[in-house]
Structure 1
Amino acid sequence: ETRKESQKTLILTIFTSFPLTWLYLGLGTLLFVFYRQNTGLPLPENADKILSHFTVHVLPAGLKGLVLTAVVLASIDSPLSSLSSSFVTDIYRPLIKKDGDEKHYLLVSRISVACFGLLLAGIAWLCAAGSGRMLWLAFKINGVTAGSLLGVFLLGLLTTRISNKVNVLAMFASAAFAGLTLYLSEQGLAPIGWSWIIVLGTVSTFTLAWLLAPLEPKFEK
């Protein structure tokens, strides 16, 4: 039965993809016809941006907001889903409430989606003033956390000293150290470039987790 359901779903997916393809092709055709009939309207320098240009400059206010909202939701639904799933699976379920039912975890997942959405919206609002340097800001923030992930990955790949609790402790300590180093670097108090932050985070996470791994039984007591 499961195999039949999978085959049925696959066949339905093939058929439902045709209307979407025609929708995309039809949208491009309609835009071409619209601008051909309205030659006085300005066009974007890059033809790939024709849809966004049409949305911002031609559509009325209400419909413009609806389209932009759909674009934003389509781009952030996957990250929000991943964040929520990781929170429930890796933090809430094993560390906070181990004996909950599926309805409870589903509720927590929905609440976490809303919380992460508000958090990301707040971060975007705070960073709006420096929008010209958002890419570099994203690199710097990623350097603070990515070093911890890479350090734990190398620890599991190259050694046999694996301790979950110690790894978490090392990751948080390393991220805090990397964040402090980045702050001092931005203030001109530390003679180090931000591109080295991920290297420091990786080395500190690997070293701290490797040294403290034999002590996990003491942490459990």
Structure 2
Amino acid sequence: MQTIDLLVIAAYLIATAWLGLKLSGKQTGLKDYFLGGRNLPWWAVCLSVVATETSALTVIGIPAMSYLGNLSYLQLGIGYILGRIVVAFFMLPRYYDGEMVTAYAYLGKRFGSSTQTTAGVTFLLTRLLADGIRVLAAAIPLKVILDGLGVDLSYFAITVILSVVTILYTFIGGITAVVWVDVVQMLLYVVGGLIAIVLVASTIGMGWLGEAAEAGKTQLLVWSGNPLSADDSFLASVLGGAVFAMASHGSDQIVVQRLLACRSKVEAQKAIIVSGVIVTVQFAIFLVVGLALWGYYQGVAPAELGLTRDDEIFPLFIIEALPPGLSGLLLAGILAAAMSTLSSSLSALSSSTVTDVVGKLRRTPMTDQQGLRIGRWATIGWGLAFIAPATIFRSDEGSIVVLALGVAGITYGGLLGAFMFGIVNKRARAADANIAFVIAVAINAFFFVMEKYVIGEVWVAWQWYPLLGVIVTFVVGGLLSLRHDGRAPVEPVTIESR
């Protein structure tokens, strides 16, 4: 690493904050701050969705998957596209018909304030944990850089720096700043991946591709293994991935907030479906990066290269093999991926805090100005809160991608189940949905904790968590709803157009 690389990274951090503030415009109320005045173009929202869901996990985690394994992770893209189609035509219309600010407002309309608040609080806690891991993903390459320069900066200090820069433009610019910065950031890290492939090919030729095929590393479809516990099986990836996408893109405020910022329901549908195609292409790019690195390092295990985590293989290549200046650019791309997700989370967390929690606990309605003020303070609070989980998970030795998706999947099933349960079961009441939701989350949490920290063996692949949660919600909620006669009364809730 040269001084010029550090200057490029510093310039990127400064330029990102400036760009977010420049493009955000004036935020006068909640509709501007959280939904961009419902006037954002679908293609920008589409790229923002992709940038949000992939983050630094894609840039450093997915190359490690193909470096150590094969291309089977790409099967997930098929399920992601199918799940998005369901969201586009089954769930999005209900959000747009109600002019809602958050995904959980629908639960408030269907079951009442208690269910909306329960879902909102659950989203807040789960998103905090999952995106704390994503902050760690950004800190990993920076830690490798600084260690190589003899600078002993802790993960804690690195996450503080990243959080403060992202808080700055999210605090002032709201969702508009987040979306437009996401567009730029996504282009940066995708170009970085393509540059890495070209540089490997120009250095050692294209022979690594044929060698990877001979070694079975280009295998795409996996038919063997137990589909319940093998997370690379075709059934788990496609069916489980489809339900996972329905939950993450239909009931997770971090994505739904962007879709609600589109100019119309049709544009939102276009944004979410096209994003599935783009994210699959993006998966393919970084999986090929992993194969290229496998050829470059001749398949040597990451530990033999002096690495403490498998996820450090791509950052190591960037630091060791790229010319000065270009190393800084690609590392800035990794930061771009991380900050796009962090800023998106901050905006989604603050909007849910204001609408689903504070707004429902107050005895008197909030004015737009009060909501805007609370939302901005919530942005600061959640940005600082990300530091804790990033520190907690820093010693994990498994795949950082699987870790983050597993944490998110704990509650996705309960959230998606509550939405679908409310639509399908007309006699269910708030207590039925709340109890079923809590039990679904508890069961998924049990599997995650047991597999990750107790027995060390996978019982249920992470892709199945959402489907398991949906099934539990329907079974428990359905049985509880049999106590009632006829159509369930709904607590009157006013959904205001912001």
Larger radius of gyration: 1
Q: Do the aligned residues in 2 keep the contact of 1:88 with 1:109 (CA within 8 Å)?
A: yes
Using a 3 Å threshold, how does the CA distance of structure 1 residues 153 and 184 change in structure 2: closer, same or farther?
A: same
1:184 aligns with 2:339: no
Residue 198 of structure 1, CA deviation: 3.1
Q: Do the aligned residues in 1 keep the contact of 2:440 with 2:472 (CA within 8 Å)?
A: yes
Residue 109 of structure 1, CA deviation: 1.1
Report the secondary structure of 2:399's partner residue: helix
Paired position in structure 1 for 2:476 = 208
Matched positions, count = 179
Using a 3 Å threshold, how does the CA distance of structure 1 residues 69 and 150 change in structure 2: closer, same or farther?
A: closer
Using a 3 Å threshold, how does the CA distance of structure 1 residues 98 and 174 change in structure 2: closer, same or farther?
A: farther
Distance 1:46 1:126 in 2: 38
Report the secondary structure of 1:177's partner residue: helix
Paired position in structure 1 for 2:402 = 136
Distance 2:476 2:376 in 1: 35
Q: Do the aligned residues in 1 keep the contact of 2:447 with 2:460 (CA within 8 Å)?
A: no
Paired position in structure 1 for 2:342 = 76
Paired position in structure 2 for 1:37 = none
Q: Do the aligned residues in 2 keep the contact of 1:175 with 1:201 (CA within 8 Å)?
A: yes
Higher alpha-carbon deviation: 76-85 or 128-137:
128-137
Residue 148 of structure 1, CA deviation: 0.3
1:199 aligns with 2:467: yes
Residue 132 of structure 1, CA deviation: 5.2
Q: Do the aligned residues in 1 keep the contact of 2:413 with 2:470 (CA within 8 Å)?
A: yes
Using a 3 Å threshold, how does the CA distance of structure 1 residues 206 and 119 change in structure 2: closer, same or farther?
A: farther
1:99 aligns with 2:254: no
Match of 2:425 among 140, 159, 172: 159
Distance 1:192 1:83 in 2: 31
Using a 3 Å threshold, how does the CA distance of structure 1 residues 191 and 208 change in structure 2: closer, same or farther?
A: same
Using a 3 Å threshold, how does the CA distance of structure 1 residues 69 and 117 change in structure 2: closer, same or farther?
A: farther
Residue 85 of structure 1, CA deviation: 1.0
Distance 1:121 1:170 in 2: 32
1:88 aligns with 2:341: no
Paired position in structure 1 for 2:437 = 171
Match of 1:108 among 374, 391, 409: 374
**Which residues of structure 1 form unaligned runs of 5+?**
1-5, 11-16, 29-42
Residue 162 of structure 1, CA deviation: 3.8
**Which residues of structure 2 form unaligned runs of 5+?**
1-36, 42-179, 192-197, 203-284, 287-314, 490-498
Note the alpha carbon deviations across 1:132-173, whole angstroms, 9 max, x for none: 511111221122111102211331332213434542343233
Report the secondary structure of 1:193's partner residue: coil
Paired position in structure 2 for 1:117 = 383
Distance 1:111 1:167 in 2: 31
Higher helix share goes to which structure? 1
CA RMSD, Structure 1 to Structure 2 (Å)? 4.5
Residue 191 of structure 1, CA deviation: 7.8
Q: Do the aligned residues in 2 keep the contact of 1:155 with 1:161 (CA within 8 Å)?
A: no
Distance 1:97 1:78 in 2: 29
Distance 1:145 1:157 in 2: 19
Note the alpha carbon deviations across 1:149-208, whole angstroms, 9 max, x for none: 221133133221343454234323321232123222332299822434333322222222
Q: TM-score, normalised by structure 2?
A: 0.29
Using a 3 Å threshold, how does the CA distance of structure 1 residues 191 and 132 change in structure 2: closer, same or farther?
A: closer
Distance 1:176 1:103 in 2: 38
Using a 3 Å threshold, how does the CA distance of structure 1 residues 119 and 46 change in structure 2: closer, same or farther?
A: farther
